[in-house]
Chain A
Amino acid sequence: DIVMTQSPDSLAVSLGERATINCKSSQTVLHSSNNKNHLGWYQQKPGQSPKLLIYWASNRGSGVPDRFSGSGSGTDFTLTISSLQAEDVAVYYCQQYYTTPWTFGQGTKVEIK
């Protein structure tokens, strides 16, 4: 199985400041067939199901604010929230869909400082 490791486990950021979450996979998720990174980012607010923020490592999902961005390739990826808003308080997960079993990171809890 591909192991996904996120860092940090939690972070507290002031409103309007940048939040950065890292995700590392135990093997590459860059598929040679389409030259795309099979990596997504999800946001989960309390009591809600996860919402897709980023797919193919850097493409924003439908309706996702542009303060969310994804970057990285191969085994190292980053989710950046450029200016943290109160509504961004949530747990964020990375997920690889390069191969089954799909695997998720352990989650990063983002709070307001």
Chain B
Amino acid sequence: QITLKESGPTLVNPTQTLTLTCTFSGFSLTSIGVGVGWVRQPPRKALEWIALIYGNDDKRYSPSLKSRLTITKDTSKNQVVLTMTNMDPVDTATYYCVQRGGYWGQGTLVTVSS
């Protein structure tokens, strides 16, 4: 059974760096075809893809956010970590961890506010 769970702060100050961790089970992120990524959804808005990391450590980023993002993996812990710098109130959203095969975590709401 594949599961993913997001963890991280629920409140972030503007200009701060956000660090989110996805802890997964039921698969291994060591193969080229396997990937774990992040998707976000502002309140009452549509889904936006952010980043993806493959088992071979190939990394992909949203062009509009690329300069602010870093995605890494720790295969020994079955974790994927996303960092997003210079947070702004428009970044307020539910952040989902997503496995390339279509499995999603429950999401975590991150609010950016002072």
Contact = CB atoms under 8 A, between A and B. Distances in A.
Interface of A: 1, 40, 42, 49-52, 55, 61, 93, 95, 97, 100-107
Contacts of A52: 102-104
A107 B39 CA distance: 15
Given A55-B102, A61-B102, A104 B96 contact: no
Nearest to B6: A49
Contacts of A49: 96, 104-107
Q: How large is the interface on B (under 10, 10 to 19, 20 to 34, 35 or more residues)?
A: 10 to 19
18 contacts: A42-B47, A49-B96, A49-B106, A49-B107, A50-B104, A52-B104, A97-B100, A100-B49, A100-B60, A101-B60, A101-B63, A102-B52, A104-B46, A104-B48, A104-B49, A105-B46, A106-B46, A107-B47
B46 A93 contact: yes
Contacts of A50: 47, 96, 104
Nearest to B63: A101
Nearest to B96: A49
Contacts of A105: 46
A105 B47 CA distance: 8
Contact of B102 (A40, A93, A100, A103): A40
Contacts of A51: 104
A40 B47 CA distance: 13
Nearest to A99: B60
A97 B62 CA distance: 13
A100 B47 contact: no
A105 B100 CA distance: 18
